[in-house]
Amino acid sequence: MSTATDMDKQLRVNPIECSGHGACAELLPEMISLDEWGYPLIDPRPVPPALERQARRAVNGCPVLALQLGRKP
């Protein structure tokens, strides 16, 4: 059994807000790619600590604030 810690952060996109800018995929290519229509496909696994700063940059880089980094729901 794994315990949820503050380290267990997950990326989530609000699909209503997301307009497919693709900025997130450029800032975090390790975890985000784009589908054939330009919308992000996000790695559902917890963000590894080594990528957390970059993940935050992707979150802040989304022009419509559609990308979220949070605890697993």
Chain contacts with ligand SF4 (rule: CB under 6 A): 13, 15, 18-24, 40, 62, 64, 66-67
Counting contacts by CB under 8 A, is residue 22 touching another protein? no
DSSP 5-71: -TT-EEEEE-TTT-----HHHHH-TTTEEE-TTS-EEE--SPPPGGGHHHHHHHHHH-TT--EEEEE
Nearer to another protein among residue 45 and residue 53 (C-beta):
45
Counting contacts by CB under 8 A, is residue 29 touching another protein? no
Among 8, 26, 30, 35, binds another protein (CB under 8 A): 35
